Amino acid sequence: MGSYEDVMAERSRLRAALCEATLKLTSNVGEGTGFFVAPGRVLTSAHVIGQEGRILRSQVDATWAGRAVTLAVTRDDYRPAYEGGSDLALLHLPDGLEHPVICLNDSAEPGDELWTYGYPTGLFREGDSVSLRVEGPSVRSDGTRLLRASHGRASRGHSGSPALNWRTGCVCGVIRMSRLIEETPVIYMVTSADVLDSFPEVAKAQRSARVNRAWHRLMSDNQLREAGLRVPGAALTSYLRAIRGAAREHPYPLSLRDAPPLNVVYLRQQATAIDDESDVVTADEVLRHHRGAQIIGEPGAGKSSLLRHLTDRSASTWLDGESAPYVPIPIHASALLSRKPFNRALADGVMNELGAELSDGGLADLFSREPLPGVPWLVLVDGLDEVIGTRSRTRVLKAVDRNREDTPYLRFLVASRPVPELTHMPIATDDAPSFKIEPFTDDQLERFATLWFSALALPNPAESAARFVAELQRGRLRQIAHIPLQATMICVVYAADPRQRLPMSRAELYERFIERLFDKARVQGAARRQLREQAMPYGAEAEKAAERLLDELRSGMEELAHNRQFGHADPAMQAPPPTMPRESWAALVTETLQLVGLLVERRGRLVFIHHTIEEYLAACHVARTTRKPGRFRGHRPFFPQEKWPWSHLEVKLFLAAIWGQEGIDLRPALRRLLTRAHRQANAEFLAELVRQGVRLPEDLFAQTCAAFCAMLAIGANDRRWTDARDALIDLDPERAAEQFESIAVSPLADRWRRYQAATALARIDRARGILTLQRLIHDPHAFDVQLRAARVLHEHDPSMGRVALAFLAHNSDVPDEYRIDAASDLLGADRQVGVSLFAQLVRDHRLSDAARLRAARALIDAGYEELPDLMRRLTADTTVSAATRAECGAVLLMIDKWAGISILEELCLDALAPPDARLRAAKAINREEPGRGVPLLRSIAEDQNVAPDLRLATIDELMVVDPSTSVILTTMAADQALDYETRVAVAEAAAGWGSEIGAQAFDRIVGDDQLTGLQRRQAAEHAADHDVRMGLRCLARLVKDGKLKPATRLKAAESAARYDRQRGIALLTALCDDLTGRARLPALGALAKLDPARAKPILVGIAEDHTSAQAPGAALELATIDRKKAISLLDAICVDSNIEPAKRITAATTLSQIDRVQGSLSLAKLRRDPVVLSELERQDATRLPS
């Protein structure tokens, strides 16, 4: 919510737009208002342009923006209320007239503030505003639904005006009528939903983003959200523009100063589901079929490019005014390591990616809910493999998994190299599977090369691409050339010299690519001269330093890559010359590093164009600078660490392989990894070495296995336990089998861990695993994993698995839900055995009613032939709850109609059965055989021992087939044993079935003299709300009832006047004639407000009779319609010395209520009369305390 000033500014813009979109209408039947709802269309109320019995003219005169406009009227777009329509008319504008369009939205809640602008008849014909507040829906007796509002008074001519809802920023209704109810002005509106339902062409226009774009720009983000519109607000639009701009940058621009935008050279790749190789889709269409996904690919496979492409496509779609299935949030995986709230972590991640291109204003708040109604965020998580450490990567995946499950407005697409965590964690689901991004095909590679050669301005790019691909086919790079990163590098290398031989290996490609860039930098004489010129003002020593900087650029860049990989500070390259300021030297170094093209500036920092380039150079640095792994400038590459950073892993595995091939002894360094302090953390690194094909010494191998065995034995947390399990299986399957077996049979181990161990054992030793699973299945203490174990056993040995499932289904010690689940699994594996088992479960009295019913439903699905007999027994079983018996009876009806009816009839007639079960049974019978169901339903409806709400539900069922049931409703309405609220609810239900039925029911309540007058009057008003004619009849009955208090009769007459003014006047007149004395005066006062001409002579006559005690009171009531006459009559009483002093004093006091000055003068005159003064003193004395 913005500040008060912001809200007022928003309202001012919308207020001006609403006024600009309204028209003043004049027709042959009156005046009103209209407004633009679609191009060339004006909406107004039908009664503004036509009335029943009058000819509908073909044109209506209008004034808009000071100009006269003639609007066409068509009979097809005229929906008058007298024909059962919504009292709307759609008028046609002349062609070519440009105009604004108002946005319609039917959202309106009680308490919403509304504002309308129209052209009322009279003094403010040129335009008048009205502020309103929504009260809620109203339904007329003819079924018409309207929106009711109050706190504002609309005049004639406001009909057809749009009602703007400040909460949503849209028009929620059209003013139809205004009434006074209990002296409160009330306005009724046709809802915008009815407008859209009545005119399909308006609905179509309102759905168009183009038509409403100008109006949407005036709405705040909160209003767009409240209106449920899928339109980006200002904050979201700014965000989309920023991420689109960033996404179009190529993820690795290489050495090109003017690298082409990604959308110029991007080529769609294929993706294959890891669990189903037959599921092959275009990579960017993965999310069309799934809520989320994991995209797995080798380095350079195109993962980042895919995520950027998805970001660009989605953001562009929204910015173009169309709808996309999601709004992207591109982040690096490291952002999800934050301990901050998830929305804050996402905001920080986006800011890290976009930097100065986007302001952080409100990003966290933006990400705390769905971006648009019904549209989720798509979190594009890139670089999971670049997150340092297994634990950190697992934290990232857990954050994804948790929020994917718990936050419905978040979807996730994770891109990564293959990492063990993606296998260890069950992040891949049916709704979020894992896909492998496929390399280019030959055809794709040629198209890709054509795109790049075009961007690089090669002559005849298509022919060059064909020659390029043909040469690749003859060389050794055929496979890796289909990987997008390598394809890009080869294209760049080839474009530099198409006559040169292509690299023969991936290593040669990287080396040639990097060396080419360095050679290019060395021969760039202009650049060298420019660097020398920058250093020249600082002397010859500075010039020499600049030359050395260029000569040592490769080693300096390798050191930079190494420091980035290992988290060190960036190297200083060289100390600045004494004559050169440090800032100038730093700028020179930065420019030199960018000269080659391996580094680019992002977010104010130099970064390598791709992670593999950085890893390659870092490894080169280590290999170049040391031959002793134990001593490397104070840093030990294989020193034990509590957390082994994943980003180091590729470099260190590469180093270990190279040094091992060169005969360097790694045993001392690797053995330190298994020291007691860090054994658990670093044993995983040794397992990775083995997985990468590095052979460990036997003693070190045994120690590593022992470390994992220890982790398994102490029961580490799930992630570490499963990591240790998988590592031990990879290292030594036989030892792993022994360890798993000891855990699975240990009574001291956790049940879940025993199940995990038995499952792992079955993977590596099927026979021992089956025996272990069987022992676990028969262990009564392992009840919560028995079914899981049986399912695993069935996978390894279907025959034994079926036996195990049958054992669990029969075992009464197993929880009911597990028994049913086991039987369901068995039914899927062996129908005959499963059906027989379910039949036994249906008969098993030890099972809960719900479980037995679930078993019966399973038999229905299986088509069990003997099910009718089984269901008859279950339905007739009195040990089963009545509700379950009714449910079973309904099931039996589906397979044996008459047997089901017979049993359900017994249940319906059982007075001891719960009424809701009886009703359920009767409904089931009625749906099949109304002739037999109606009497049963009627018996429940007439049973006074049944709760009223159930009786009403029964009557609702009955009225559809037997309208005579209305008698029960009138009987219930007259039942004095029921409380008042229930009786009114019964009468309202009766009114829902027809005015006549409702009238009978309300008559019973209104005529009950055991109720208070207030209750009887309220009942009559309820009747009027349903049907005015019915309500007026009830109110008239109260007005004429002489047994009621006059005040109650008067209130009833006033209520009648609110619904029908003339009828109210007639009732008040009759009441005035019937009442006498003081009770008559309030009735005359009420009549005076409605019909002054009728009440005035009567009041004057009473006031002129000075002997009447009611004369002052009559004059007081007369003052509401003729103040001067009332004062005159009271003054005449005051000066009449022939009447009692007390009456003269009363007249003067009454006169003071009308005119304080005149009353005071009259009292002063009376005090001069000794007789009156004596009476005043006596009255004063009686008022004093004794």
pLDDT 10s digits, 794-836? 989 999 999 999 999 888 888 888 998 988 888 888 888 888 8
In a domain, 504, yes or no: no
- Number of other CB atoms surrounding residue 1155 within 10 Å: 18
Q: Is the pLDDT of residue 661 over 60?
A: no
Q: Is the pLDDT of residue 1004 over 50?
A: yes
Check residue 173 and give its pLDDT. 93
Check residue 644 and give its pLDDT. 44
String of DSSP letters for 333-354? GGGGG--S-HHHHHHHHHHHHH
Q: Distances from the Cα of 1178 to the Cαs of 134, 759, 832, 966, 1183, in angstroms?
A: 56, 107, 108, 66, 9
Q: Comparing 430 with 1048, which gets the higher pLDDT?
A: 1048
In a domain, 820, yes or no: yes
The Cα–Cα gap between 162 and 42 comes to 11
Tokens representing residue 578 in the block: 């004494």
The Cα–Cα gap between 405 and 411 comes to 9
Regarding whether 216 and 300 lie in a shared domain, the answer is no
Regarding whether 134 and 80 lie in a shared domain, the answer is yes
Check residue 737 and give its pLDDT. 93
Domain that holds residue 316: 234-438
The Cα–Cα gap between 1171 and 538 comes to 122
pLDDT tens string 121-162: 878 888 889 999 998 888 776 767 889 998 888 878 889 999
> Is residue 901 within 8 Å of 932, Cβ to Cβ?
yes
Tokens representing residue 515 in the block: 């060396």
Check residue 38 and give its pLDDT. 93
Tokens representing residue 555 in the block: 């080693």
Regarding whether 1038 and 993 lie in a shared domain, the answer is yes
Smallest CA-to-CA distance from 223 within 183, 305, 167, 175 is with 167
Q: Is the pLDDT of residue 191 over 90?
A: yes
Query: Averaged over 593-608, what is the pLDDT?
Result: 74
In a domain, 904, yes or no: no
In a domain, 487, yes or no: no
Q: What is the DSSP letter of 536?
A: G
The least confident of 207-216, 329-338, 746-755, 913-922 is 913-922
pLDDT tens string 258-307: 556 666 667 778 787 776 644 667 777 778 878 888 888 877 788 888 88
Q: Inter-axis angle of helices 553-565 and 582-596, to 10 degrees?
A: 90
Q: Is the pLDDT of residue 1010 over 80?
A: yes
The Cα–Cα gap between 719 and 424 comes to 8
| pLDDT level of residue 609 (50, 70, 90 thresholds) | confident
Check residue 632 and give its pLDDT. 44
The Cα–Cα gap between 795 and 396 comes to 32
- Number of other CB atoms surrounding residue 55 within 10 Å: 9
The Cα–Cα gap between 979 and 976 comes to 7
Query: Averaged over 983-999, what is the pLDDT?
Result: 81
The Cα–Cα gap between 268 and 279 comes to 17
pTM above 0.75, yes or no: no
> Is residue 1094 within 8 Å of 1075, Cβ to Cβ?
no
Assign residue 130 a region (left: φ > 0; alpha: ψ between -120 and 50; beta: otherwise): beta
Mean pLDDT in the chain?
A: 81
End-to-end CA distance of the chain: 64
Domain endpoint, select from 864, 886, 918? 864
Check residue 527 and give its pLDDT. 62
Q: Inter-axis angle of helices 867-876 and 831-843, to 10 degrees?
A: 20
pLDDT tens string 1099-1109: 888 888 888 88
Check residue 770 and give its pLDDT. 92
Regarding whether 137 and 120 lie in a shared domain, the answer is yes
> What residue type is 537 in one-letter code?
P
Cα 293–Cα 296–Cα 298 angle in degrees, nearest 5 = 165
The Cα–Cα gap between 940 and 982 comes to 17
Query: Averaged over 962-970, what is the pLDDT?
Result: 80
The Cα–Cα gap between 1148 and 1146 comes to 5
Q: Is the pLDDT of residue 43 over 90?
A: yes
The least confident of 1-15, 226-240, 460-474, 751-765 is 1-15
| pLDDT level of residue 724 (50, 70, 90 thresholds) | confident
> Is residue 768 within 8 Å of 759, Cβ to Cβ?
no
The Cα–Cα gap between 999 and 1034 comes to 8
> What residue type is 1032 in one-letter code?
L
The Cα–Cα gap between 58 and 60 comes to 7
Q: Is the pLDDT of residue 645 over 50?
A: no
Regarding whether 122 and 70 lie in a shared domain, the answer is yes
Regarding whether 90 and 152 lie in a shared domain, the answer is yes
> Is residue 731 within 8 Å of 691, Cβ to Cβ?
no
Domain endpoint, select from 837, 864, 891? 864
- Number of other CB atoms surrounding residue 674 within 10 Å: 18
> Is residue 492 within 8 Å of 254, Cβ to Cβ?
yes
> What residue type is 441 in one-letter code?
T
Check residue 426 and give its pLDDT. 64
Tokens representing residue 430 in the block: 């049916």
- DSSP element (H, E) containing 134: strand 128-139
Query: Averaged over 46-71, what is the pLDDT?
Result: 88
Residues 6 or more apart whose Cβ sits within 8 Å of residue 1101: none
Q: Inter-axis angle of helices 540-551 and 553-565, to 10 degrees?
A: 70
Q: Which residue has the tokens 């017979």?
A: 902
Check residue 646 and give its pLDDT. 45
Q: What are phi and psi of 388, to 5 degrees?
A: -80, 120
Regarding whether 1093 and 1062 lie in a shared domain, the answer is no
> Is residue 90 within 8 Å of 202, Cβ to Cβ?
yes
Regarding whether 1080 and 1070 lie in a shared domain, the answer is no
Residues 6 or more apart whose Cβ sits within 8 Å of residue 166: 11, 14, 112, 113, 114, 115
- Domain containing residue 171: CATH number: 2.40.10.120
Q: Which residue has the tokens 């108002």?
A: 102
Q: Comparing 704 with 681, which gets the higher pLDDT?
A: 704
Tokens representing residue 708 in the block: 């994992």
Tokens representing residue 82 in the block: 């007298």
Number of domains in the chain: 6
| pLDDT level of residue 641 (50, 70, 90 thresholds) | low
Q: Distances from the Cα of 944 to the Cαs of 905, 976, 981, in angstroms?
A: 20, 12, 17
Q: What are phi and psi of 139, to 5 degrees?
A: -125, 120
Cα 1178–Cα 1183–Cα 1184 angle in degrees, nearest 5 = 100
- Number of other CB atoms surrounding residue 1096 within 10 Å: 18
Regarding whether 529 and 428 lie in a shared domain, the answer is no
pLDDT tens string 856-898: 778 777 777 676 677 777 766 767 777 777 777 777 667 667 7
Regarding whether 325 and 189 lie in a shared domain, the answer is no
In a domain, 933, yes or no: no
Tokens representing residue 850 in the block: 């719900």
In a domain, 759, yes or no: no
The Cα–Cα gap between 945 and 612 comes to 81
Q: Is the pLDDT of residue 631 over 60?
A: no
Look at the chain and count its residues: 1186
Domain endpoint, select from 438, 455, 480? 438
Check residue 691 and give its pLDDT. 65
In a domain, 384, yes or no: yes
Tokens representing residue 693 in the block: 């094909």
Check residue 280 and give its pLDDT. 67
- DSSP element (H, E) containing 149: strand 145-150
Residues 6 or more apart whose Cβ sits within 8 Å of residue 1035: 1017, 1020, 1021, 1024, 1052, 1053, 1055, 1056, 1059, 1067
Most confident of 137-151, 559-573, 906-920: 137-151
The Cα–Cα gap between 1085 and 1072 comes to 10
Check residue 1184 and give its pLDDT. 55
Query: Averaged over 231-240, what is the pLDDT?
Result: 87
The Cα–Cα gap between 993 and 991 comes to 5
Query: Averaged over 401-426, what is the pLDDT?
Result: 82
Regarding whether 1136 and 1008 lie in a shared domain, the answer is no
- DSSP element (H, E) containing 186: strand 184-191
> What residue type is 458 in one-letter code?
L
In a domain, 897, yes or no: no
Radius of gyration of the chain (CA): 44
The Cα–Cα gap between 982 and 1022 comes to 13
Q: Is the pLDDT of residue 370 over 80?
A: yes
Three-state secondary structure string covering 1104-1161: HCCCCCCHHHHHHHHCCCCHHHHHHHHHHHHCCCCCCHHHHHHHHHHHHHHCHHHHHH
**How far is Cα of residue 246 from the mean position of the Cα atoms in its chain?**
27
Q: Comparing 177 with 343, which gets the higher pLDDT?
A: 343
SS3 33: strand
Query: Averaged over 349-360, what is the pLDDT?
Result: 70
Query: Averaged over 650-659, what is the pLDDT?
Result: 67
- Domain containing residue 348: CATH number: 3.40.50.300
Regarding whether 1105 and 1180 lie in a shared domain, the answer is yes
